[in-house]
């Protein structure tokens, strides 16, 4: 049994850290201040293979596994809380296809997605509430050889800038909640970059954190999707969504962990420099112990996350293979714990900086703002605790 990262994984971490420091960090705070989307981030991620890590080699991906994806996301998020939202949203959007699509659908969509040529997004959440899919009303009605999709999805990451979307739509409202919806894949853009007829983007969210992320309302108005682009079987969306989230949650944990690591490093450096009452504040026990607790929390979250990723990456994504309660629990535990740690660590990093921590000239307040949403999206931490408690 090996309890260390492999040489390849350590090399990946070093390579991504270099990319993050040199290509992503410059401009992070200016873009956050201006709430400006950074299109160059997609190019940086794609050109360095960071949109391909988990995808099968047969479709042009790296097939490096979930733990590699986690390590890369951690390093990206160490310098910017937003950039991981692009790659996590991409993987989230593609997972339903990897999990449930037939070979024809895979061949149509995965080569572009796996190489990062096509950015991906997943339209699930609606105004009735992201936690409870029972109220979802986006409808897909069969007309001949195609489905007409109508409805609205909210808070969708990459909803404007992606090329391919998967969408969760009700196909038979009379069926029980777990059987009434179906997943479809569709191309969002015409060759000239305009949206295809029937798809548009509505409200763009103005957010506390992740301010440079593309978080928008997806509007479906008679979107025509060929029946052959159904992902899995009719009525299978709930099962596909649950399995999708099982595999995607560790990546959210990695965003939280990297963001916390970045805040922690800033806090330690500041605590060694800032002299109050005649000595650096790290030598005042109140601050020294706070930093010690942050170190403990970060390393604990990292170990749980790496364990969860190691467990999950060995499992079949195939929709016909069910995960055990213990396997599902790892996914939820690492997401819940790492994102709670992310919030606690970044809040304490602000505390270490004192009044400067609260000001935008210093880096930690952004990290605290970026940390919050990670306790909310991809299943809030209340929902994670619900999932975990049900497996006990
Ligand atoms: C920046 C951002 C990006 C996002 N990206 C995407 C995306 O790409 N695709 C997508 O589909 N969605 C996305 N979302 C939506 C996100 O997943 C939802 O916001 C989240 O699932 C919570 O749903 P909600 O906001 O409707 O809260 P609600 O479901 O209304 O919940 C409100 C509160 O009640 C709590 N709660 C709900 N049910 C229970 C319960 N049974 N027990 C205890 N507490 C409960 C919740 O934890 C929460 O605190 C994104 C959201 C944000 C903010």
Tell whether ligand 1 has an atom less than 6 A from the beta carbon of residue 125.
yes
What pLDDT, on the 0 to 100 scale, is given for residue 206?
96
30 among known catalytic residues: no
Half-sphere exposure in the Cβ direction for 134 (13 Å, CA): 3
CA distance 128 to 143: 27
At residue 152, what are phi and psi to the nearest 5 degrees?
A: -135, 140
Architecture of domain 7-114: Orthogonal Bundle (1.10)
Ligand 1 centroid from CA 331, angstroms: 17
Tell whether ligand 1 has an atom less than 6 A from the beta carbon of residue 155.
yes
Ligand 1 centroid from CA 292, angstroms: 32
Ligand 1 centroid from CA 178, angstroms: 19
Which residue in 126, 285, 378, 382 is the catalytic one? Answer: 378
Ligand 1 centroid from CA 130, angstroms: 4
| Coil, helix or strand at residue 126 | coil
The answer to whether 188 and 164 have CB atoms below 8 angstroms apart is yes
Tell whether ligand 1 has an atom less than 6 A from the beta carbon of residue 59.
no
Tell whether ligand 1 has an atom less than 6 A from the beta carbon of residue 375.
no
- Residue 281 DSSP one-character state: G
CA distance 279 to 113: 54
What pTM was estimated for this model as a whole? 0.97
Ligand 1 centroid from CA 7, angstroms: 38
Ligand 1 centroid from CA 381, angstroms: 9
43: left (phi over 0), alpha (psi -120 to 50) or beta: alpha
In the CATH hierarchy, which fold is given to the domain comprising 237-390?
Butyryl-CoA Dehydrogenase, subunit A; domain 3 (1.20.140)
Of 35, 28, 155, 161, nearest to 90 by C-alpha is 161
- Residue 208 sits at the vertex; the CA angle it makes with 150 and 373, to the nearest 5 degrees, is 70
What is the residue whose two structure tokens read 């360095």?
48
CA distance 224 to 117: 23
CA distance 31 to 277: 37
CA distance 343 to 301: 12
> What dihedral angle (degrees, nearest 10) is formed by the CA atoms of 174, 180, 185, 190?
30
The answer to whether 301 and 253 have CB atoms below 8 angstroms apart is yes
For the domain spanning 120-231, the CATH number is 2.40.110.10
Is residue 291 exposed (0-12), middle (13-18) or buried (19+ Cβ within 10 Å)?
buried
Which residue's alpha carbon is at the smallest distance from atom 45 of ligand 1?
382
pLDDT tens for the chain, 392 residues long, are 568 999 999 999 999 999 999 999 999 999 999 999 999 999 999 999 999 999 999 999 999 999 999 999 999 999 999 999 999 999 999 999 999 999 999 999 999 999 999 999 999 999 988 898 888 999 999 999 999 999 999 999 999 999 999 999 999 999 998 999 999 999 999 999 999 999 999 999 999 999 999 999 999 999 999 999 999 999 999 999 999 999 999 999 999 999 999 999 999 999 999 999 999 999 999 999 999 999 999 999 999 999 999 999 999 999 999 999 999 999 999 999 999 999 999 999 999 999 999 999 999 999 999 999 999 999 999 999 999 999 99
The answer to whether 378 and 242 have CB atoms below 8 angstroms apart is no
Which residue's alpha carbon is at the smallest distance from atom 16 of ligand 1?
377
**For ligand 1, mutation pick of 85, 130, 188, 381 (most atoms within 8 Å of CB):** 130
| Coil, helix or strand at residue 116 | coil
32-70 pLDDT per residue, tens: 999 999 999 999 999 999 999 999 999 999 999 999 999
- Residue 229 DSSP one-character state: G
Domain ranges of the chain: 7-114, 120-231, 237-390
Helix (H), strand (E) at residue 184:
strand 181-187
**Atom of ligand 1 minimally distant from the CA of 373:** 53
**For ligand 1, mutation pick of 122, 127, 155 (most atoms within 8 Å of CB):** 155
Instruction: Tally Cβ neighbours within 10 Å of residue 322.
Output: 14
Tell whether ligand 1 has an atom less than 6 A from the beta carbon of residue 79.
no
| Coil, helix or strand at residue 377 | coil
Query: In sequence order, what are the residues at sequence separation of 6 or more whose Cβ sits closer than 8 angstroms to the Cβ of residue 266?
Result: 349, 353, 362, 363, 364, 367
Tell whether ligand 1 has an atom less than 6 A from the beta carbon of residue 318.
no
């Amino acid at each position: 049994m090996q309890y260390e990262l492999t040489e390849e994984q350590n090399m990946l971490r070093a390579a991504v850290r270099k990319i993050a420091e040199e290509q992503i960090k410059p401009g992070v705070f200016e873009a956050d201040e201006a709430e400006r989307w950074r299109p160059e981030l997609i190019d940086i991620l794609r050109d360095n293979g960071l949109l391909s890590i988990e995808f099968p080699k047969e479709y042009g991906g790296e097939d490096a596994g979930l733990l590699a994806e986690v390590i890369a996301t951690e390093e990206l998020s160490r310098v910017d809380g937003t950039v991981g939202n692009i790659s996590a949203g991409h993987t989230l959007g593609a997972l339903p296809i990897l999990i449930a699509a037939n070979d024809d659908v895979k061949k149509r969509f995965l080569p572009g997605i796996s190489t990062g040529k096509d950015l991906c997004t997943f339209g699930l959440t609606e105004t009735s509430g992201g936690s409870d899919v029972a109220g979802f009303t986006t409808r897909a009605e069969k007309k001949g050889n195609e489905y007409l999709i109508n409805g609205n999805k909210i808070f969708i990451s990459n909803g404007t800038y992606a090329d391919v979307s998967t969408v969760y739509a009700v196909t038979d409202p009379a069926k029980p909640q777990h059987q009434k919806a179906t997943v479809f894949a569709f191309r969002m853009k015409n060759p000239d970059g305009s949206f295809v007829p029937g798809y548009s983007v509505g409200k763009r969210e103005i957010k506390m954190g992740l301010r440079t992320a593309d978080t928008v309302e997806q509007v479906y108005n008679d979107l025509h999707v060929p029946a052959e682009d159904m992902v899995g079987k009719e009525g299978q969306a709930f099962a596909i969504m649950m399995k999708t989230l099982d595999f995607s949650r560790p990546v959210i944990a990695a965003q939280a962990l990297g963001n916390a690591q970045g805040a922690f490093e800033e806090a330690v450096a500041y605590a060694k420099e800032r002299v109050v009452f005649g000595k650096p504040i790290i030598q005042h026990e109140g601050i020294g112990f706070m930093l010690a607790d942050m170190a403990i929390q970060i390393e604990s979250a990292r170990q749980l996350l790496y364990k969860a990723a190691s467990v999950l990456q060995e499992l079949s994504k195939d929709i016909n293979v069910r995960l055990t309660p213990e396997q599902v629990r790892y996914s939820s535990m690492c997401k819940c714990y790492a994102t709670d740690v992310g919030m606690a660590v970044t809040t304490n990093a602000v505390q270490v900086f004192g009044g400067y921590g609260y000001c935008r000239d210093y880096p930690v307040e952004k990290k605290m703002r970026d940390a919050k949403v990670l306790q909310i999206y991809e299943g809030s931490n209340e929902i994670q605790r619900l999932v975990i408690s049900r497996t006990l």
